[in-house]
Structure 1
Amino acid sequence: MEITANVQETPVKTPQKVIVIGGSIAGLLTARVLADHFDQVTIIERDRVPEQPESRAGVPQSHQLHVLLTQGYRILNQLFPGLEEELAGLDVSTLNWTADFQWLLPGGWSPRFPSHLKTQACSRNLLEFLIRKRLAAYRNLDFKEATTVTGLLLNPNRTTVEGVKLRNSNGTDTQLSAQFVVDASGRNSQTPQWLKNVGYEAPQETIVNAFLGYASRWYQSLGNEPLDYHVLYLMPQAPHQSRGGVLYRVEGDRWIVCLIGVGRDYPPTDEAGFLDFAQSLSDPSVYEAIKNAQPISPIYGYRRTENRLRHYERLSHFPNNFVVVGDAVCTFNPVYGQGMTVASLAALVLDQCFKQYTQHRSNPDLKDLGKHFQKKLALVNQTPWLMATADDLRWSTTAGDKPNIITRFLQQYIDKVILVASERAEVYQSFIEVIHLIKPTTIFFKPSILWQVIRQAFS
């Protein structure tokens, strides 16, 4: 993706206020870029913000595995200089995605070799905490906790958003004015209903649901011998192998063990069922690692994993001074680990839109910026959406949008690419670069890969 952050630029800051609805990763990253453009940024979060890296009610999946892809890792380190060193000081190890990742592909175990594809493997709670702590140091940014947004405030002719309606923890209703509002409230976003309430159309939705479920547990250590990887992945494989599992090392030398089931073949959350499910996987690695290991958490289940895309870019009418980002627009099946990285890409796009609209203007007009941004965001979401849904649509039990002829072709072609990647390190690296949103999917059709796929198909 040709999107880069340039934190050295000095944007034109408007003497105005902006509201960000939601304080999760998408909301925090959005607030970070808007702090460069507005005199005052207010993040409105319905939870009490924890003072330590802890779970909170508004993120029910926080106990589950979260992956920051290489593209997202690079962007976060550009937006927050020194984050890499801070993570390292908290016992977060560097993960090289081609050297430290053991992946059982249809053609066998993935090749392992060092590359530039790196992140630091930490829990979602720690990452969110560190970002929030850094934002707290911004003088023009504040948090309004335990407060729920109940609607939008519009001007008399309902063309422009001018703030939000609020309800605090004791049930008192108030209002907060702003010159710009961002909805980063997540998959439960009320924007479609808010738009209908003020006379606009709600966006069309595309849903693809593979009925995938997780069961995750945390361990202090695994197995009797040191493991020579940081991540191990046994991938479910359509049409018959509906079960998979992940071992993922995070800070403090702890491990998240995640069992996966597709097509309502949900992994159990009881002790015996969890181990039996692990033992049923296609390879014994996960079971052998946990059978005698000491867990440090309960077993957490999670089943809300459908892909959902709200098409704000298609709306013919959209209020000025308002945008929607993150899971409020596009929610991916979490098994692909795309959410945080796509949120970071969206933050950069929003930053670029503001630079475009405010450059060389002492009194910038933000009219139509929202429409412009939603169309740009749709392009950012396009590749990860295709990757996630094309894989989920392999399953006969998947509900929602159906695969078209292009999707079926891509599925068959990618199958051949994966088989070649099992044997060819250079093809495998290209495959990982696409997954980590570093390279576009068109790289699979460059002559060197295309030729190897053709040879494999006729061998």
Structure 2
Amino acid sequence: MHSKLLSNQGRHAVVIGGSIAGLVTGRVLTKYFEQVTIIERDLVPDEPVPRKGVPQSHHVHVLLMRGAMILEELFPGLHAELYAAGASQLDMAKDAAWLNPAGWGIRFTSGVMLLASSRSLLEWGIRQRLMQCPQVGFVTESEVTGLLANADKTAIAGVQVRLHDQLHRGSVTKQVYADLIVDATGRMSKTPQWLTALGYEPPPETVVNAHVGYASRIYQPPANFSSDWQALYLQAAPPNAPRGALMLPIEGGRWLVSLGGGDKDYPPTDEAGFLEFTRSLRSSLLYDAIKDAKPLSPIVSYRATENRRRHYEKLRRMPEGLVVTGDAACAFNPVYGQGMTTAAIAAETLDRCLKKGLSGLSKRFQKQLAQVNAVPWTLATSEDYRYRSTEGKSLDRKTKLMHWYMDRIMLLSTKNVEVRSQFIQVMHMLKTPTALFHPKIVALVLQEALQSTLHQATLTTTNNQGDVKTCS
């Protein structure tokens, strides 16, 4: 559909990309602009189904509690609508069985809630709400091909759009002008090339790639299936166990199962290989659950999982009237479930920046966004350094120390409610990682390390004594 908002009248903002990052950004922009146009390359479906431009939508997505809180604030009543459509709410520690590298996380009622649904349902629910805003118009099956600058190229004044005409099987090109352009096109963003074409330097990039791949499938649970968990997470434990899996209940009473493998140990997409990969995991729970389940979808793979950070905050020159958000600025390995929540936090950050006006917005936002992304980036990349084939920044002393500390946090989370509660809150971005360095938790970590050292010393002494030979 081609929106009437392409009339270029009034204070106007354009969002490139109609996925979750673009949608939540569009909602924030309605507070500051008379017109908001969202330009999307795909034909947007009327139903909550995967679309071509979001290949990752076939796989398990997790909306962390911080992200859920932001979405509910932007779209009051959204959660109730999603639950009515079949989504469910799970307690992260009570309802989800989580096998971390040290063992099974201790189960208890944490109060940290997880929205369980397909990615497609969540995106559809947000889009339906946004379409009710009179200021918002959607331009679908259309592609932005470049940025339009002002006369001295100090600011972005609009975008060049190729509008596909399905009736005549052709396309027309139109220039759309706006006071603000937001790039929310994801990993495949072309803003670096567009800036180069205007005479600007492209942003420097940092890439950390653990060569993780996924394969996913939807199942109908067996009629007689019962368990004490609703969701299942079998976490990979690299470098020696690079395979993992996640099962999440989704709308329609179905299971969405995603298998993952790092170090290029990609899960197969054939029937027998998929099940055999499941059988090879560190626990048999998932295999036992799906071996008699009815497959409802093909097996779909996805391998665009590298962490990629474009450092717009480091640019010496950045044109006014342009901001870059979501995966277009900073994309994470999806296994850590941070993408949708960081997109919501980015929209919240843009809201804060817009309150100070459009002047200086571009640099102001990119610098604040970089600070927001720094924590999830560190969490994702430091864990990815555990894989043997990871490409990117080398494993330094600080990261090795972080691994040592987190290994003990994981061990404590199998038996200590307080430690696991803090870890889950950090993971859901309700607290910063500094919560894991509270003096009480540091004391528990050091005590655990000391006990482990003493235990190892005792074993070594016992073994050495057993090796002593006597003369007869």
Tell me the TM-score range normalised by the shorter chain: over 0.9
CA RMSD, Structure 1 to Structure 2 (Å)? 1.2
1:112 aligns with 2:104: no
- Secondary structure in structure 1 of the residue aligned to 2:182: strand
2:408 aligns to what? 416
1:396 aligns to what? 388
Gapped regions of structure 2 (runs ≥ 5): 1-8, 165-169, 452-472
Runs ≥4 residues deviating over 4 A: none
2:390 partner letter: T
* Alpha-carbon distance in structure 2 between the residues aligned to 1:207 and 1:141: 35
1:180 aligns with 2:172: no
1:306-321 residue pairs with structure 2 within 5 A? 306-321=306-321
Q: 1:36 to 1:408 in 2, by over 3 A?
A: same
1:163 aligns with 2:158: yes
1:435 aligns to what? 427
Decide whether the 8 Å contact of 2:248 with 2:255 is kept in 1.
yes
- Secondary structure in structure 1 of the residue aligned to 2:217: strand
Decide whether the 8 Å contact of 1:147 with 1:167 is kept in 2.
yes
Gapped regions of structure 1 (runs ≥ 5): 1-13, 358-365
- Secondary structure in structure 1 of the residue aligned to 2:426: helix
- Selected match of 2:376 from 384, 389, 392: 384
Count of aligned pairs:
438
- CA shift, 1:15, in A, is 5.2
2:203 partner letter: P
- Secondary structure in structure 1 of the residue aligned to 2:327: helix
Listed one character per residue, the Cα deviations across residues 360-386 of structure 1 (whole Å, up to 9, x for unaligned) are xxxxxx221110000000011011100
- CA shift, 1:222, in A, is 4.5
- Secondary structure in structure 2 of the residue aligned to 1:388: helix
TM-score with structure 2 setting the length: 0.91
- Selected match of 1:131 from 107, 116, 126: 126
1:295-310 residue pairs with structure 2 within 5 A? 295-310=295-310
- CA shift, 1:92, in A, is 1.8
1:78 aligns to what? 73
Decide whether the 8 Å contact of 1:222 with 1:255 is kept in 2.
no
2:56 partner letter: Q
* Alpha-carbon distance in structure 2 between the residues aligned to 1:433 and 1:446: 14
1:5 aligns to what? none
Decide whether the 8 Å contact of 2:91 with 2:110 is kept in 1.
yes
- Selected match of 1:453 from 445, 451, 467: 445
1:235 partner letter: Q
Decide whether the 8 Å contact of 1:87 with 1:120 is kept in 2.
no
* Alpha-carbon distance in structure 2 between the residues aligned to 1:118 and 1:111: 16
* Alpha-carbon distance in structure 2 between the residues aligned to 1:207 and 1:335: 16
Please tell me whether Structure 1 or Structure 2 has the larger radius of gyration of its CA atoms. Answer: 2
2:468 aligns to what? none
- Secondary structure in structure 1 of the residue aligned to 2:295: coil
- Secondary structure in structure 2 of the residue aligned to 1:397: coil
- CA shift, 1:312, in A, is 0.3
1:44 aligns with 2:39: yes
- CA shift, 1:404, in A, is 2.2
Q: 1:222 to 1:399 in 2, by over 3 A?
A: farther
* Alpha-carbon distance in structure 2 between the residues aligned to 1:286 and 1:119: 20
1:244-393 residue pairs with structure 2 within 5 A? 244-357=244-357, 366-393=358-385
* Alpha-carbon distance in structure 1 between the residues aligned to 2:18 and 2:77: 22
Listed one character per residue, the Cα deviations across residues 177-235 of structure 1 (whole Å, up to 9, x for unaligned) are 10110000111000000000000000000000000111111012147422322211111
1:54 aligns to what? 49
Decide whether the 8 Å contact of 2:238 with 2:386 is kept in 1.
yes
1:30 aligns with 2:25: yes
Listed one character per residue, the Cα deviations across residues 387-417 of structure 1 (whole Å, up to 9, x for unaligned) are 1000001112111122222222111111111
